[in-house]
Amino acid sequence: MRAVLRFLPLPCLLLALWLLLNDSLSAGNLVLGAAIALVLSLLAPGLRPVRASLSHPLTAVRLVWHVAVDITRSNVAVSRRILQGDKANAAPGFLDIPLRMHDPHGLAALSCIITYTPGTVWAGLDERTHVLTLHVLDLQDREAWTRTIQDRYEAPLMEIFE
């Protein structure tokens, strides 16, 4: 019974998405959507050899809040820079940040956080040395960026996933 309850969210989500995208609750769409959702849900575990487990949900909620605040602040800062035409004072650049995290789910989450934040782009990760290359639109203070990535994002992600 527990396995069924753990299995159900993905096919239900896929079916709901199918029905939403097709904008129809017809019997044909229900049957076809259910069949596609079940097949994809049965095939999905083979694509994810490493399973993730959320060990500290409160830390995850705090991290989501920090990310939302940071994305909002960054949107305002980048918008202001664009609207004011303040391109002369911009100092774009690349920054190398050593990471301690090795969990693939944590690294994926970190890459999403960085890339979703306007003004920053995950440019690469050296798998041998675990050094993240980050591109920043306005790279004024390298130490501040390093502290932000390591303390504000990487540390909570390590607590959650490792």
Each residue's pLDDT tens digit, 51-108: 767 778 899 999 999 999 999 999 998 888 888 876 667 788 999 999 999 988 899 9
State how far the Cα of 153 lies from the Cα of 159, in Å rounded to an integer.
10
Of 121, 118, 135, 120, whose CA–CA distance to 79 is shortest?
A: 118
* Phi then psi dihedrals of residue 61, to 5 deg: -65, -45
Q: Do 125 and 107 touch, CB atoms closer than 8 A?
A: yes
Residue 86 has a pLDDT of 65
Residue 88 has a pLDDT of 62
Q: What is the pTM of this model?
A: 0.72
Strands (E) across the chain are located at: 93-98, 120-126, 131-136
Q: Give pLDDT tens digits for 93-152.
A: 999 999 999 988 899 999 999 999 998 999 999 999 999 999 998 888 899 999 999 999
Tell me the average pLDDT across 27-34: 93
Residue 87 has a pLDDT of 62
List strands edge to edge, sheet with 120-126. Answer: 93-98, 131-136, 120-126
Angle at 158 between CA 144 and CA 123, to 5 degrees: 55
Residue 8 has a pLDDT of 81
